[in-house]
Chains A and B, each alone.
Chain A
Amino acid sequence: MIHLAKRDKIHPAAAWGIRIAAFVLGLLVCGLLAFLMIDKLRNNPAKISDFYLSFINGISSSNAANIWMNRKFWVFLKNLALLLCVALALTPAFRMRFWNIGGEGQTLIGVLAAIAVSFYMGGKGKTALNPEWVIIPLMLVAAVIAGALWALIPALFKSKWNTNETLFTLMMNYIAIELVSYFLIVWVPNGSSALGELPYGHMPDLVVYPEKAVAPANKYLLIVLIVLVVSVLLFVYLSRSKHGYEISVVGESERTARYIGINVKKVTIRTMILSGALCGLAGFLIAACLDHSVNTDSVGGQGFTAIMVSWLANFNPLVMIFTSGIIVFLNQGASQISTTFNVSGAFPSVVIGVMLFFIIGSEFFIRYKLCRSRDEGKEKVK
């Protein structure tokens, strides 16, 4: 008979060994699935090497002149930064054991608010807005406030009446999405509901490669740097500040928190405002640096993926750089596969799903150990 026991501790090397093994196993299963689903591969099994090479090709353009011009690499960094930003936003709430799965909605509402500012106030430089760049901080403020508000609503009800936050924040996502559809209909009179790129409120490029203005590095570096700074700041906030300490105590034990006089409601609300505000920041980055527009898919499910990124990193902001990197790496690799092998654009989701199953499952072997005892149950064999 096999029975389970919780591990007291595990050697970090062993833990990483288990994780890497799971990762490799997951990749193998992905390959197997690919055989089933990709006709080209079935007809020509030797192409399996192309399958795995695609993961590398997914994050690096082979024909780039230099690193500044390597488009895929910079797209990888940009996507990593965006996903990381949302994951960072959710982390303070998760550390408090507040299951904020409303990152999607909080980010989207941030995009919407920033675009609203740009839509209504852009191009009015001669009257209200002078100089023109003032619109950018206004967009930021609007996005941050909107995100914070979206997170604050469930937090208020949670702290007052203990309303289930998982279900509440989940519902808020869809309210945000429908709100975006509403504004799209209001803003786009021709009925196509597609808002084009707005000409105002673009964040300036950070030019590191002056030889070519359109170099991807110039376009994406600013986002990467901003998110990097945010992750370091958040790490410091969570591990070194009094607020961060209070979040940990509330998350570990509410009774202890009350015993030492922490106002749990206040901490809950404050932390959720921070969480929502950071989501708003991610929304601002999407609005002002990338899309300059909004649609119901502006966040593209990253609010949900970010939950897994944060959880996989055990809620550590610095480790999250790594975990979001893995998710984006898999995503872009699988996108590359869909191009190479001509399968549906949804293939990356399948790969990420399978990989997540394995990584999530592997945590079990890190947290628990299997003890074999003889079937009569007389002796415990360690």
Chain B
Amino acid sequence: MQNTKKPFLEMKNITKCFGEVVANHGVNLDVYPGEVLAILGENGCGKTTLMNMLSGIYFPDEGHILVDGKEVVIRDPKDAFDLKIGMIHQHFKLVDIFTAAENIDLGIKGSSLKTVNARVREIADRYGFNIDPEKKVYDMSVSEKQTVEIIKVLYRGADILILDEPTAVLTLQEIRKLFAILRSMVADGKSVIIITHKLNEVLEVSDRVAIMRKGEHIATVNTSEATENMLTEMMVGKKISLNIDRSEPLDPQPRLEITGLEALNPEGIPVLKNVSFTVNGGEILGIAGIAGSGQKELLEAIAGLQPLTSGSIVFHNPKKNKPVTFYHKSFKRVCELAAAGAFHDPSGKPVSFSGLSKAQIMQLVKEGQVLFNEDEAMNLRDKTPLEIRELGVRLSFVPEDRLGMGLVGSMGITDNMMLRSYRKGHSFFVDRKKPQELGKRIIEELEVVTPGVRTPVRRLSGGNVQKVLVGREISSSPKVLMAAYPVRGLDINSSYTIYNLLNKQKQNGAAVVFVGEDLDVLMALCDRIVVMNSGTITGIVDARTVQKEELGALMTKTYPTDTAKEAE
């Protein structure tokens, strides 16, 4: 039905490059008045870049933008506002020390601060927002900040609202409320563009959906005619059957026992609520959940970077067939333990020492014929990353923010390899020889494309950066390997390299924790999946048997207690 109307906005053949990276290539898009257009695509497919060209943050390298059929040039955000285009960025652009009203009024000529409050209330009433114009932004919740952003755009008289991943940080109730507001705006004749990678939201709220993949526009379809399968197919391209080899876990023994973790973020809001689960050695444990459900805080808590308010993280280090010595235990104690059946010989038979003389026992122990299994358990809570390492716990962590946390962008591969190992030895000086060898080995084995070990890793492509990081983290043959979104933004080949590396670690007996966003990958790679939702665990399921719908339901499940809190 929209097609009979004139499009309000058209983008024709838009191309944008960043250096050698093509973010958008020949994209065509049109927006009609009074509709919700969803732009659907995986992370890193160029949705945000495309919209940033409408809002004046970036300038297209090629292509035309038409508003009301007339060609326009959008050089900066002001031009966009003049064309009645407003964007709500994923990372809110608000001044923290200003009030809501001040933020809303920012940059508008000729208005007076006195009339702002009244006009804000008027807009709020019209579309059903809840807002206190006098509240400072630093006192606001995420949802309130988003409200300020939306009103800011409406206040400027925008007819086209662009929302970049608006639901990523919201609770289910808040999402419902947002969608209701979006509908009331559309009813008012405005157009809404919503960037998302969530299918259910597309189907729920949009009139039409444009699908993007790897910087290109694939198709635009009417939502009423679309199905989830069809959209997925267009979003990911031809259906990729994930051919990830998954072996049965080998002798799974508890490696990390996590009990009752609670943590607050810097603003004092709970981010982890009573999180308990166990990770076994020799398995891959997946963690699923919408972004910001506490995955990052959980991994950082285990790695010693996130302070906890309660709970424990116990690391088990079972050592098998350890020879008994008299170093720690007296002769008498050894005999007692032997009588209790704690020891065995190399063939695995119990040793009792009955009928042996003291000299014979001493001889057996000395020869290493008496063995025992030991379970060393250490609580890692409140330990710094350094203390954890000094305890001898080989814990590796591939963080989500590769260049901001896992690696130093301006340093070469050699120096980045040293991050983990530079403390080794008593020398005052660093040894660059071994890290360089390691770097060269990783370049060779993982096929990292780089001019050399000295090239700053910032200049490498995303996939190569990740290979360097994962390569370093597994080089210490970890007992626990945690990886947060390790394949985000990577092409298929690189992704498979990473999957294989994780699988290899699993087979080596490491406990692997994999935080992912693609449910298909989680279901194909992991042995068990922990589902998180706003800081709590809503379910732990068997990855081999679980249904996708079930996971989706667990991810968006809300508790009555939460609802009660919302109502307050």
Which of B397, B420, B422 is close to A242, meaning CB atoms less than 8 Å apart?
B422
Q: Mark B541-552 against chain A: 1 for CB-CB distance below 8 A, else 0.
A: 000000000000
Q: How would residues 420 to 451 of chain B score, 1 for a CB under 8 Å from any chain A CB and 0 otherwise?
A: 10110001111000000000000000000000
Main secondary structure of the interface of B (DSSP, over half): loop
Q: A258-B385, A259-B399, A261-B385 are in contact. Are A252 and B409 (CB under 8 A)?
A: yes
Tell me the complex Cα distance, A241–B423, Å: 10
CB of B389 within 8 Å of the partner chain: yes
* Interface 9-mer from B57-65, B224-232, B235-243, B367-375: B57-65
Question: Is B75 a contact partner of A259 (Cβ separation < 8 A)?
Answer: no
Q: Is there contact, CB below 8 Å, between A256 and B404? A: yes
Among the listed stretches B41-49, B194-202, B410-418, which one makes contact with chain A, having 4 or more residues with CB under 8 Å of it? B410-418
Chain B 262-289 near chain A by CB (<8 Å), digits 1 or 0? 0000000000000000000000000000
Is A253 close to B, CB under 8 A?
yes
Contact B410 A252, beta carbon cutoff 8 Å: yes
Q: Indicate if the CB atoms of B60 and A377 lie closer than 8 Å.
A: yes
Is B423 touching A253 in the complex (CB atoms < 8 A)?
A: no
A-B contact pairs, 6 of them (CB 8 A): A3-B59, A253-B405, A256-B408, A261-B387, A377-B59, A377-B60
Contact-residue bracket for chain A: 20 to 34
**Measured CA separation A29–B418 after assembly (Å):** 48
Contact A255:B404 (CB < 8 A) given known A241-B428, A377-B59: yes
Residues of B within 8 A of A259 (CB): 303, 305, 385, 397, 399, 405-406
> Provided the pairs A252-B411, A377-B60 are in contact, do residues A261 and B429 lie with their beta carbons within 8 angstroms?
no
Q: Does chain B have a CB within 8 A of A248?
A: yes
If the complex has contacts A249-B419, A259-B305, are A242 and B405 also in contact, measured as CB distance less than 8 A?
no
- Quick one: closest B residue to A262, CB to CB? B386
Question: CB-defined interface of A342-382 with B at 8 Å, one 1/0 digit per residue?
Answer: 00000000000000000000000000000001001111100
A241-B430 contact in complex given A260-B420, A377-B75, C-beta closer than 8 Å: yes
Known A242-B428, A260-B385; contact A249-B405, beta-carbon cutoff 8 A: no
Q: How distant is the Cα of A372 from the Cα of B56 in the complex, in angstroms?
A: 18
CA distance A258 to B385 in the complex (A): 8
A residues 228-254 with Cβ under 8 Å of B? Answer: 240-245, 248-249, 252-253
Which A residues have a C-beta under 8 Å from some C-beta of B?
Answer: 1, 3, 8-9, 240-245, 248-249, 252-253, 255-256, 258-263, 373, 376-380
Chain B residues within an 8 Å CB radius of A244: 430
**B73 within 8 A of partner (CB):** yes
Residues 55-88 of B, flagged 1 when their CB comes within 8 A of A and 0 if not, give 0000111111000000001010000000000000
Chain A residues with Cβ below 8 Å from B386 are 261-263
Interface of A is mostly: mixed
Q: How far is the CA of A8 from the CA of B20 in the complex (A)?
A: 10
In the assembled complex, the Cα of A340 lies from the Cα of B410 at a distance in Å of 48
Query: Apart from A241-B428, A256-B404, A261-B304, what are 13 other A-B pairs with CB-CB below 8 Å?
Result: A1-B75, A3-B59, A242-B428, A245-B418, A255-B401, A256-B407, A259-B303, A259-B397, A259-B399, A261-B386, A261-B387, A261-B388, A376-B73
Q: Is B459's beta carbon under 8 Å from chain A?
A: yes
What is B's interface to A at a CB cutoff of 8 Å?
Answer: 19, 59-64, 73, 75, 303-305, 384-389, 397, 399, 401, 404-411, 415, 418-420, 422-423, 427-430, 459
- Quick one: which of A252, A261, A262, A379 contacts B62, CB cutoff 8 A? A379
Partner of B405, one of A3, A243, A255, A377: A255
A3 to B58, CA, bound (A): 11
How distant is the Cα of A373 from the Cα of B15 in the complex, in angstroms? 14
A190 to B420, alpha carbons, bound, how many Å? 63
Chain A residues with CB below 8 A from B399, complex form: 259
A258 partner residues in chain B, CB cutoff 8 A? 305, 385
> Complex: how many Å from CA A376 to CA B430?
54
Bound-state Cα–Cα, A9 to B454, Å = 14
**Closest residue of A by beta carbon distance from B20:** A8
Residue of B nearest to A242 (CB): B430
Task: Determine if B409 and A260 form an interchain contact, defined as CB atoms under 8 angstroms apart.
Answer: no
A78 to B406, CA, bound (A): 45
Complex Cα gap A261–B404 (Å): 15
A376 proximity list for chain B (CB < 8 A): 73
Once the chains bind, are A240 and B73 in contact (CB under 8 Å)?
Answer: no
Most buried by B among A252, A256, A376: A256
Known: A8-B459, A258-B305. A242 touches B423 (CB 8 A): yes
A64 → B minimal CB distance (Å): 43
Chain B nearest CB from A6 CB (Å) reads 9
Closest B residue, CB atoms, query A375: B73
A261 touches B397 (CB 8 A): no
The answer on a CB contact under 8 Å between A253 and B408 is yes
Q: Lowest 5 A-B CB distances belong to which pairs?
A: A261-B386, A261-B385, A252-B408, A255-B405, A380-B61
